Structure 1
């Protein structure tokens, strides 16, 4: 994804690179690297940048007559960023345009309400529905998380000091400390529907 929309957003809103760095939890030099093309914007950072600037990011679509792959919409995310999945046999399930780098396992949930921030009402969250136990590669990333108590949440994952447990963070909700995770899948992309 090109970063021209970020440059234009900074100019249009008068917001600063240092403010953007703070919103992303990164150093100002990391934002400079991003804007100079030396670092790529992660999928979970797109939403943070869009919220900071108060604008929608560009949609990722190819050109020409390319066939856009579809991903099943398998549920929605409501209050507290808890995912509610559609029951088996409830269908027909909706399908939405999948991310460019989608895999056959890529699925989507739709955000309903302001659980992830007011800007994200009706946004789609894409992830690969592979339910692997969490590992160090997910630390600091926004993930769809399956908790040991059966809840499914969209949160940023941090390792707990307590062995085998995790801390889950978000911008709008209180942190959830020391929870067991059965599985976690990184958010592949977020975009407005």
Structure 2
């Protein structure tokens, strides 16, 4: 018997969450959007695409192919696969982050260390930009860009500057209000620069996928 995409999404979600609301909140998705996806291919519903299917599949322990096509058997196991996070780019000389200009569905994904949040992302370290021991390790960080708040002072962060540079540096207060000095282990400090946004680094680690 053929099932609809929305029905398959609901079946998968019920393996992990009692309600669509709880699932949406856990994934940081608007409840109305997720609810419409569970009604996909029916009046009043909204279809979801490959990017959403990949996210839902990781969370619910099924495959994107099954959600989108129904051609594979419904997975019966209770244990979901390990969560993955996207590799958005790499860190090069001077702690400068370079992000790939590709659709999300074309990005590599890796298994993060235990305890990393659902909204995390990663960038690969190339060379000795963050120290001589971290070549081909990964920086896992909260993929939420926000203004600098007191809790980020003294923390290693991904920071966006007004001149367009994106760096991975420790944030310290600068000489005056609204300015900050950026530190790293391998470069001279960058004094008194405004920061447009910052995202806290959670951990620098190898990925078990690449060992």
| TM-score range relative to shorter protein | 0.5 to 0.7
Equivalent runs, 1:121-136 vs 2, <5 Å: 121-136=135-150
Q: How many residues align?
A: 129
Match of 2:190 in 1: 176
Query: Deviation at 1:186?
Result: 1.1
Partner residue in 2 for 1:142? 156
> In the alignment, is residue 155 of structure 1 matched against residue 169 of structure 2?
yes
Contact 2:128–2:135 (Cα < 8 Å) also in 1: yes
The corresponding residue for 2:90 is 76
Aligned-partner Cα distance in 1 for 2:87–2:103: 14
RMSD: 1.6
Partner of 2:111: 97
TM-score, normalised via structure 1 length: 0.63
1:9 match: none
The structure with the largest alpha-carbon Rg is 2
In structure 1, which of residues 110, 116, 120 is the aligned counterpart of residue 124 of structure 2? Answer: 110
Question: 1:191 corresponds to which residue?
Answer: 205
- Which residue of the partner structure matches residue 165 of structure 1? 179
Q: Whose relative contact order is higher, 1 or 2, with alpha carbons under 8 Å and at least 6 apart?
A: 1
Unmatched runs of 5 consecutive residues or more in structure 1:
1-64
Q: CA deviation at 1:90?
A: 8.4
Query: By percentage of residues, which structure has more strand?
Result: 1
